[in-house]
Amino acid sequence: MFGGVALLLHGNLCVGIWKNSLIARIGPDEYQSALAHEFVREFDITGRPMKGWILVEPDGLETDEQLTRWVQLSVEFVNTLPRK
């Protein structure tokens, strides 16, 4: 999906890899605060940003704790979605 690796949770895309960055589906509530973090930007590979989705650049994933934080946010949000 998106030309990279994607991991689904209950049939919904949760996290993935695009080029060298992590795609995280964190939802609209966490979106603006996530964009305030260094090395985080909106997920926009087509010219149309996907709200509630972010890209975390490799420099923002240097520790297990950093990776775990984004994955946990994604899992928490995706668990609120209907199963497919």
DSSP 3-state assignment of 24? strand
Phi, psi for residue 41 in degrees, rounded to 5: -145, 165
Per-residue pLDDT at 3 = 72
Amino acid at 61: L
pTM (2 d.p.):
0.91
Distance CA 66, CA 70 (A): 7
Q: Which two tokens stand for residue 36?
A: 């305030």
Distance CA 53, CA 24 (A): 6
Helices vs. strands in the chain: H and E counts, helices first: 2, 5
Q: What does each of the 84 residues of the chain score in pLDDT, given as a tens digit? A: 567 799 999 999 999 999 999 999 999 999 999 999 999 999 998 899 998 999 999 999 999 999 999 999 999 999 999 999
Can you give the residue ranges of every domain in the chain? 5-78
